[in-house]
Amino acid sequence: MRNLLLFVLFLIGLFYARRALRGKSGNAGKAADKGPDAAGGGRQREAEHLEIEQMVACAHCGLHVPESESVRGAGEFFCSDEHRRLGVRR
């Protein structure tokens, strides 16, 4: 009987620890479960945080990478330092 009680207490503690670790991400899921009106506000907040970023083509190989991850050199965009060093491919 004692072991069963300890096991139940362990499960309850595990539940609360998991819930605490989820933090705010768990609250967004709960808002989505309440209905379309509650979830709409969450989607708007998520959309505000998303930024659309320009994709640029590497001047050497043509691979498209986000502008923030690209390497600039000689007025062109490159996918890596190695391709910047090799230069524009003709």
Over the stretch 45-86, which tens digit does the pLDDT of each residue have?
666 677 788 999 999 999 999 999 999 998 999 999 999 999
Name 5's Cβ contacts closer than 8 Å, sequence gap at least 6.
none
Both tokens of 56, joined, read 């640029």
- Dist. CA 86–CA 88, nearest whole Å: 7
pLDDT at residue 7, as a whole number: 95
Q: Is 17 left (phi over 0), alpha (psi -120 to 50) or beta?
A: alpha
Q: Is the pLDDT assigned to residue 32 strictly greater than 60?
A: no
Rg (CA), the chain: 25
